[in-house]
Amino acid sequence: MSHEQLPQGVSSRAVHGGERQQRLGDALTVPIYQTATYVFRDTQELIDFKEGRIDKGEYGRYGNPTVHAAERKLAELEHADEALLWASGMCAITSVLLMLLRPGQHMIITADSYRRTRQFCDSMLRRLGIEVAVVPPGDPQAVEAAVQPNTRLLFSEAPTNPYLYVVDLEQIVAIATRHRLRTMIDSTFATPYNQNPLDFGIDLVMHSATKYLGGHNDLMAGVIAGSTPMISALREAQGVLGGITDPNTAYLLLRGIKTFALRMQQHNANGCALAAFLETHPKVRRVYYPGLTSHPSHAIARQQMRGFGGVVSFEIDGTLEQTSAFIDALRIPYIAPSLGGVESLVEQPALMSYYELTPEERQRLGISDGLVRYAAGIEDTDDLLADVEQALKVCL
């Protein structure tokens, strides 16, 4: 079924996208094709396959029917020609950066990006002779000023982690067009429900499918979506690098995406309600949520996003210990990394992600002792608000 024939609604695409092909045994759900290799009826079929006359499986590292079904669905959600699943979000990012960049070249990444992405760029890419410039996410002038003759890629999250800055995608594309650069956006926090970077002219969009797409905190996967030529080249590289997704994970992802739109409605509602409540609370110093008019990226977010997600970052007016006491007093969210699942999760970045750094080093990175990242799940909004309110009373 072509893109033009598909239903246009996000929920319809989440349910039906990529699944209209005939299935083994006429099963309604896509089966788990638990196989490592594929057989050929005879030598002629093998030759026909090698010469491109037939399309079929060969070996598990080069593809799987369950995985391909999930990839087709993700491509529909992102308005992409194709999508490619990887073993994790970080596997997707690192593999693509290694494929797009060569020694002697240069890339630009916006600050406030996921710490592991920054760590890969700062250490491994530099070790390979690839230069990396870090620029503020809300400053297109700084982005353009960072472009060098050997620059090949602009990379940003939108929104960023943990302060939820939203880059202006149209400006990023305009800069890239002027300088003939590739563009890549990590849209994990936005999801295809709230934002489609490819519609703005971005070349590649990436998600940690572990988060909102899987939606149940029970799988790990990453996805890259884009044009057929780019995804085909990446698929060829994946056969060498080996960072594939297994069919069981792909099946869980397919099942999770069926309720993706419904879940995102509640994630968005909970995020907005939580941010609005926290912003008026006297014990909260500052709230970071692009749905608030007080956020520096609010105007851009309103222009290019349909919703603002379930992650709210905020700073408590207290010490490291008082912030920990607030988190311990919460009754609904679990203390854990990650986000985007049906269960609410909460973390204190100074301890969860930056524990090995000194307070001075954390401060230089903008990670205060009072910073909290709350990833709202799909629980009842009133219950989440009441829980946060009682925890603030207890700890401060």
Using a 10 angstrom Cβ sphere, with 0-12 exposed, 13-18 middle and 19 or more buried, the burial of residue 380 is exposed
Closest CA to 95 of 80, 82, 85, 105: 85
DSSP secondary structure of 16-45: HTT--S--GGG-SSPP----SB---SSHHH
Helical (H) or strand (E) element with 155: strand 151-157
* 114 part of the active site: yes
Which position among 168, 186, 246, 369 bears the catalytic label? Answer: 186
* 186 part of the active site: yes
First-residue to last-residue Cα distance in the chain: 57
Closest CA to 153 of 202, 99, 107, 118: 107
> What amino acid is encoded at 51 in this protein?
E
* 20 part of the active site: no
Contacts of 378 (CB under 8 A, 6+ apart): 263, 266, 267, 270, 342
Residue 381 — left, alpha, or beta (φ > 0 → left; ψ -120 to 50 → alpha)?
A: alpha
Contacts of 354 (CB under 8 A, 6+ apart): 115, 361, 362, 365, 367
Which position among 23, 38, 48, 61 bears the catalytic label? Answer: 61
Pairing, β 222-226 against β 204-208: antiparallel
Note whether 79 and 17 are within 8 A (CB). Answer: no
Q: SS3 for 159?
A: coil
Which position among 211, 263, 362, 373 bears the catalytic label? Answer: 211
Please state, in angstroms and as integers, the Cα–Cα distance from residue 329 to each residue in 195, 310, 348, 358, 381, following that order. Answer: 34, 20, 13, 26, 18
Which position among 13, 33, 72, 114 bears the catalytic label? Answer: 114
Q: What would you measure as the largest C-alpha separation in the chain, in angstroms?
A: 75
* 317 part of the active site: no
In angstroms, rounded to a whole number, what is the distance separating the alpha carbons of residues 140 and 134? Answer: 12
Catalytically annotated residues: 61, 114, 186, 211
